[in-house]
Each structure stands twice: as structure tokens, then as C-alpha cells.
Amino acid sequence: MTPSLRQRFDRLEMRLAELDASLSDPALATDIHRWRRVSQEQSETSALVERWRRYRQREADMAAAREMASDPELADMATTEIEEASADLEQLQSELRLALLPKDPDDARNAFLEIRAGTGGDESALFAGDLARMYLRYCERQGWRTEVLSESAAELGGYKELVLRVEGPAVYEQLRFESGGHRVQRVPATESQGRIHTSACTVAVLPEPDETEEITLNPAELRIDTFRASGAGGQHINKTDSAIRITHLPTGLVAECQDDRSQHRNKAKALAVLTARLREAERSERAAKEAATRKGLVGSGDRSDRIRTYNFPQGRVTDHRINLTLYKLAQVMDGDLTELVAALKAARAEQQLAQMEAGA
């Protein structure tokens, strides 16, 4: 373990003593909100410090075992202890380093998943439909709830655009790396000469904002239009102007919802999507400024980034951000994204650790 990380854990040990003293102060109990914040920090810090103390204890055990190894009668016992302590230290170090990573408050949120056909015409729309099925199957595997907020179906199948809301534990944490350009290489059904075509779609994953954030929009900056819904939704939805389109005039961002027969509920959902897009636009602007000095390993999440290629003739999927190629395209398209998500999360964690240790 690096000296800089050791210093961090030593500082955490001192911080724990301060938190313990604060919690023992009767005056803190008079401010319930502050008491909760301090209690939560104390609980998290205590768990980390306990692991750090366990790490130092195993270091001491290993040092003692190495001294013991010089005695022929104790050599076998010492060797066993060294091996066990070494394994424990490796595991504890990994846990300690990961525990120091900054937590993104958005990770626990629900998310909006947007899929848009790009270059490639009809084939791109068909691929958008394939991506939609892939994500819906993945959400089903995770036990998440999904609902279609808006859709624009293509004539030959698939989607020109599809917006989903995904609800469940840690949705954004698992889906956040899907934002970007997705490219497909395959022989379209309409291709008579068997030539491979390349098409593309864009995906955007936006964390759902808190309800308190949804009301910060200035009504004077919004244009709200009603229209008759198209596509799925049953007979009633096609007979009334229940669909809502909201335009944020200063930025030109647009959000719409047509899945509910209630105009009021559609408006609330469209406002939530619009708020999420505005927050994402601000985040992207900040990320672009940071990228000018340091480019992220797993990309900025911008839709212009080409993040992944799905090659059907070779049965492979390649994530270009981490140079990972899997020859399990059929399973991936059926919603088995576990290996991709895990690899991307691990790459991001390593990047954050490297930055943290460099700046310590």
C-alpha cells in the first residue's frame, strides 16, 4: 500500500475520534438533521477504520511469522501463517482502496434510457429495436420495472426514437456506461448481395432527478403543446390529445410523453425527462472542460463517442473504451450485459484510484 493511502487512513482514524466525540455531545441531539448526518458519517468511517486496523494487524502477523520462520521447528507453521496473512492483506487492500472511492449520489437513482436511430436508415432503426430489446431483457434480469415514455416507430420495424424510464435499485450505476454511440456491422435483411453494412444508434442514460428538482423550471421558459398520441397505447389514447410535448425555450431541449391516458401524468413525466436532460447538458459541459486537461478512461458518456461495436458475422461485441472483446454476441443481445458492466465499473474504479493516489 502506498504511503499516501496510509496517510489517508490515518486521517480517517483521527476523524473517527472527532465523530465519536460529537455523537457523545448532548447538544447534537437537539438538531436531528445534523445528528443523522454525523451518525451516517460515523458509521461509514467506523467500518473503514475497522478494516484498516485489521489490515495493520495482519501486517504485524506477517512480520512476526517471518521472524518465526528462522526457527526450524516453527518454519512450517510460519510458512502457513505467511501465506494466509498475504492473502488477507491482498483482499483487505483491495477493499480499502475501493472504499475510498468517491460515491456518485446519482448512482442510486432511477434512470431515463433514450435510444435514437442514427446513420444507416432503415437498418439503423431496426438496430435501435434490437438495442431496446437488449436493454429490456437486461432490466428484466435485474428485476427492474420499465415503462415507455415516448416512442417513434419506424416503417419497416424498430424505432426512430424510444425513451424508457427504468426503476429499481442502483439503476443509473449499472446503466451509466451505456451512453454513447453504438455501431452494428451485419448483413441487412434487405441486402440481396450479402454485403455487410455498418449502421449506428445513439444511447443516452440520464439519472432521474429528485421531485424537488423538477419544480425549479421557470414556467415562463416552457412551451407546452398537446397532441394526439401515436403508436401503442390502446384505443383511448389515440382518440384524445393526451400526449404532452414540452420545449425549454432557452436551450431548445424538448421532452414528450404519450404513454398515459392522463394528460396531467404525461406532463409530470415529460417535465421529469426535461429536467434530466437539462442536468445532463450541464454535466456534459463540465465533463468537456475537465476532458480538456484529462480524458476519462471510459469516456465522457457523450452521445458522439463511439463506445461499442456489435459485429454479427463474427459473433463479437467490442467495447472500445476498455478494449474488451467478447465472442458472445447472441447472449449480449439477449440482455446478458453483466460481464460488460462489471468490466466498465472496474475500469472506472481503477481510473479513480489512480487519480486519487496521484493527487494524494
Indicate if 188 and 252 belong to the same structural domain: no
Which of 279 and 122 is assigned the larger pLDDT?
Answer: 122
For 131-169, how does the pLDDT look when each residue is reduced to its tens digit (9 = 90+)? 999 999 999 999 999 999 888 898 888 999 999 999 999
Residue the block writes with cell 445528528: 35
CB contact at 8 A, 244 and 267:
yes
Residue 112 falls inside a structural domain: yes
Residue 341 falls inside a structural domain: yes
Among the candidates 60, 80, 99, a domain finishes at 99
| CB contact set of 172 (below 8 Å; sequence gap of 6+) | 106, 107, 108, 109, 110, 111, 205, 207, 208
CATH of the domain at 174: 3.30.70.1660
Indicate if 214 and 289 belong to the same structural domain: yes
Indicate if 276 and 349 belong to the same structural domain: no
Residue 242 falls inside a structural domain: yes
The H-or-E segment that residue 350 falls in is helix 338-359
Question: Sign of the C-alpha dihedral, residues 301, 303, 305, 310?
Answer: positive
> At residue 329, what is the residue type?
L
| Host domain of residue 251 | 209-293
- Sheet containing strand 253-257, strands side by side: 222-227, 243-248, 253-257
Indicate if 197 and 322 belong to the same structural domain: yes
For 5-39, how does the pLDDT look when each residue is reduced to its tens digit (9 = 90+)? 888 899 999 999 999 999 998 888 888 888 988 99
- 211-233: average pLDDT: 68
> What confidence category does residue 296 fall into, taking pLDDT thresholds of 50, 70 and 90?
very low
Indicate if 9 and 87 belong to the same structural domain: yes
Judge whether residue 260 has pLDDT over 80: no
CB contact at 8 A, 48 and 96:
yes
Indicate if 28 and 172 belong to the same structural domain: no
